[in-house]
Amino acid sequence: MLYVCARGWGHTQKKHCRAVPWLRSFIQRLTAPPPLGHESLWWCIHSGEGNDAYGKYKGPLQMTTPWEGLSRDWYGLPVRTVFAIAEKKYREHGYSLAWIRQQWPQTSLSCI
């Protein structure tokens, strides 16, 4: 149970504080990463691509810079962040399997 006190939230003592039973779950929902609709697809592609920092292709999905108009340090980003960006682009392309095959021609065929 979290309590809201005069000094702010997050205290565990009950003296001069008011219990807020929903606060912990509210904070967890705010800080939790959004669910990925095709997470298994991204993990499958990643397992075939690796996470190389050198060469033309970088990061968990071995993307070029710029990829889809995005300039990022693909190797330096957390894996789930890269997956979320790929998921967004996949959605923007209407969940097109042709788009997936174009982006990852070697590894996507066994993942779809």
| pLDDT tens column, 14-49 | 566 666 666 767 776 666 666 778 989 999 999 888
- Total domains in the fold of the chain: 2
Using alpha carbons, select from 60, 66, 90, 65 the residue that is nearest to residue 78: 60
Does 67 share its domain with 87?
yes
Q: How far is CA 101 from CA 13, 19, 29, 52, 79, in A?
A: 56, 52, 34, 20, 20
pTM of the model: 0.66
Does 68 share its domain with 102?
yes
Range of the domain at 66: 39-110
pLDDT of residue 66: 87
Does 44 share its domain with 99?
yes
Using alpha carbons, select from 40, 86, 81, 43 the residue that is nearest to residue 63: 86
